[in-house]
């Protein structure tokens, strides 16, 4: 259960640390004092939406920490299996958000995704916000209630999900095989055309790159030709001045006179002769290039057209030569499967038929289990509603079938039918229930379902809305009863519930000359009596304290009876 909650820089809260009792904890305070902020902080650390607007003005980040203790063995195993973090009987959650949107979640000091935190907390805590009053009015949520209450529904839901996934896999394979005969023939024609197109293209591995380079070179024809001629004239033949070869030949002739005098000069002569030979060879090579470097417009047009054709192929079939080959191999295999798919197609159709029959069977069994659980749920909720001051309340759960034949939740559609008063016909819950009745319906549901789930902590946000007088006292006793099975944390405006609490926390807003801050105070003794008197609306606080003290003593006697 939730032992400690630490809140830092959340909205009006600078720093608050709360330690909760393992039974009934009640948070009270004036409207706007910051009670809802604490529930926002709870939702945040439990994996809810990260809202940067909640960061306290002037702060760079907000942070919330929660410590759970006395975890049961199934929760410990689930956490280990889900995220691979080892925990004992204590769990430490931490979540921080900065003004740039950076979000950090930790479990026992190890970084984890928000989704993992959310999954784990759904096993540990049931946060009943005011929006859940609306949720229970939806048919989908009502079906979830029945499945949660049922002992076997989840087993069938898992089996149903696995079967539907198998059908989807078969449908995907059937689609790959071409589906119907006409669809299959269309695919055969398409793949045959594409294979023929790629075959006839005869694209070579580096052809596109080679042609691209050749085109670039042809586009530089004049520049290349001018450079080659300039080189040739400078090195081999120049009409206006001696060429480089002429100059080297003249230098070589000068050395021939002294080569016989000294071996050193002979070596220089030989080296220069090698240079002359290399220059003559280069000149011949360049002359060959000049003779060959004739711009061919027809060839340029052919290269350009071929490049456009290859580009078109690449765009259609992957974007590169490698992707083209990959796609070619893929459709060749598919075409082969299509041509030889008749036998496999029939096999898959038979498998699918058997799976659909199995799905029908599982849905029937699931529906049967749900209907049995629904009858038990109806009875138990009516019993609880009688305790909650609604002796004539009736609940029936009507079943019908959804239009879709196969869904992950089965073919059942349910409607909670409700009547609060004797002599009035049952109608859909969302059409007849009042605010005070809704609070009691939700409480009845919570206490009935709490007997079958493993959640240890329930958080109520003003579930007592619309209640007063004797019914408020009945609900207070009811919540005390529930807190002997689960830890309860409740935001409340009712003095009866405040008096019944095992731990009272008052939220107050304080301002000074520069800022406003929300503080939380534990109430005992006269401070508690004053808060109960305030909730009663007492004009004379001294008299109010006396009445509050009497209410508190009666509440304590009731809690002693529960022990």
Question: Per-residue DSSP letters for 231-281?
Answer: HHHHHT--SSS--HHHHHHHHHHHHHTTTTT-HHHHHHHHHHHHHHHHHHH
Average pLDDT for residues 140-164, to the nearest whole number? Answer: 88
In the chain, % of residues over pLDDT 90: 19
Give the pLDDT of residue 432.
67
Q: Over 90: is that where the pLDDT of 262 sits? A: no
Q: What is the pLDDT of residues 301-336, one digit of tens each?
A: 888 888 888 888 888 888 888 888 899 998 898 888
Nearest to 2, CA basis, from 519, 500, 503, 509: 503
Give the pLDDT of residue 130.
57
169 near 348, Cβ under 8 Å? no
Q: What is the pLDDT of residues 80-89, one digit of tens each?
A: 777 777 777 7
233 near 243, Cβ under 8 Å? yes
Q: Over 70: is that where the pLDDT of 235 sits? A: yes
Ordered alpha helix ranges (H), 94-180: 114-124, 132-135, 139-149, 153-176
More confident residue, 221 or 473: 473
More confident residue, 2 or 217: 2
H/E stretch holding 419: strand 412-419
Give the pLDDT of residue 361.
94
Q: What is the pLDDT of residues 540-553, one digit of tens each?
A: 777 778 888 888 88
Q: Over 60: is that where the pLDDT of 440 sits? A: yes
Q: Compute CA distances 165 → 245, 310, 350, 557, whole Å.
A: 83, 41, 16, 56
Residues spanned by CATH 3.40.50.300 within the chain?
A: 1-130+462-523
pLDDT band at 166 (very low <50, low <70, confident <90, very high): very high
Residues 1-130+462-523: name the CATH superfamily. P-loop containing nucleotide triphosphate hydrolases (3.40.50.300)
Q: Over 60: is that where the pLDDT of 133 sits? A: no
More confident residue, 135 or 536: 536
pLDDT band at 555 (very low <50, low <70, confident <90, very high): confident
């Amino acid at each position: 259960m939730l032992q400690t909650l630490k809140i830092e820089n959340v909205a009006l809260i600078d720093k608050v640390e709360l330690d909760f009792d393992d039974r009934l904890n009640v948070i009270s305070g004036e409207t706007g004092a910051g009670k809802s902020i604490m529930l926002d902080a709870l939702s945040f650390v439990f994996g809810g939406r990260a809202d940067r607007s909640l960061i306290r003005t002037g702060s760079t980040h907000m942070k919330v920490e929660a410590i759970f203790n006395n975890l049961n063995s199934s929760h410990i195993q689930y956490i280990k299996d889900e995220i691979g973090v080892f925990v004992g009987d204590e769990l430490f959650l931490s979540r921080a958000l900065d003004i740039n949107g950076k979000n950090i979640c930790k479990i026992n000091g190890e970084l984890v995704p928000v989704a993992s935190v959310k999954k784990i907390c759904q096993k540990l805590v049931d946060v009943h916000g005011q929006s859940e009053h609306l949720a229970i009015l939806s048919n989908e949520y009502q079906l979830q209630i029945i499945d949660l209450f049922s002992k076997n529904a989840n087993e069938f839901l898992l089996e149903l999900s696995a079967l539907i996934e198998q059908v989807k896999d078969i449908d995907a394979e059937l689609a790959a095989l071409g589906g119907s005969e006409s669809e299959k023939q269309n695919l055969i024609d398409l793949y045959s055309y594409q294979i023929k197109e790629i075959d006839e293209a005869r694209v070579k591995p580096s052809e596109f790159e080679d042609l691209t380079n050749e085109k670039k070179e042809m586009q530089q024809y004049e520049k290349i030709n001018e450079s080659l001629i300039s080189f040739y004239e400078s090195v081999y033949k120049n009409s206006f001045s001696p060429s480089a070869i002429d100059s080297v030949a003249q230098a070589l002739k000068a050395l021939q006179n002294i080569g016989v005098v000294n071996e050193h000069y002979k070596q220089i002569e030989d080296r220069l002769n090698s240079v002359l030979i290399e220059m003559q060879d280069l000149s011949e090579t360049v002359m060959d290039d000049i003779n060959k470097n004739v711009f061919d417009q027809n060839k340029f047009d052919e290269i350009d057209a071929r490049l456009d054709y290859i580009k078109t192929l690449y765009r259609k079939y992957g974007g590169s030569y490698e992707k083209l080959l990959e796609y070619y191999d893929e459709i060749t295999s598919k075409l082969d499967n299509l041509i030889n798919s008749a036998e496999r197609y029939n096999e898959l159709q038979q498998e699918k038929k058997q799976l659909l029959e199995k799905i029908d069977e599982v849905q029937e069994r699931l529906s049967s289990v749900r209907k049995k659980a629904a009858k038990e749920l109806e009875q138990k909720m009516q019993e609880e509603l009688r305790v909650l001051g609604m002796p004539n309340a009736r609940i029936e759960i009507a079943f019908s079938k959804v239009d879709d034949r196969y869904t992950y939740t089965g073919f059942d559609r349910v409607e909670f039918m409700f009547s609060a008063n004797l002599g009035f016909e049952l109608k859909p819950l969302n059409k007849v229930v009042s605010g005070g009745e809704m609070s009691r319906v939700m409480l009845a549901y919570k206490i009935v379902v709490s007997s079958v789930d493993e959640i240890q902590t329930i958080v109520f946000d003003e579930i007592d809305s619309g209640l007063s007088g004797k019914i408020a006292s009945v609900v207070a006793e009811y919540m005390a009863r529930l807190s002997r099975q689960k830890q309860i944390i409740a935001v409340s405006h009712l003095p009866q519930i405040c008096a019944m609490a095992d731990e009272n926390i008052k939220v107050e807003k304080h301002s000074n000359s520069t800022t406003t801050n929300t503080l939380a105070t534990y109430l005992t003794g006269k401070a508690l009596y004053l808060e109960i008197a305030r909730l009663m609306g007492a004009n004379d606080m001294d008299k109010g304290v006396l009445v509050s003290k009497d209410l508190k003593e009666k509440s304590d006697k009731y809690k002693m009876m529960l022990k």
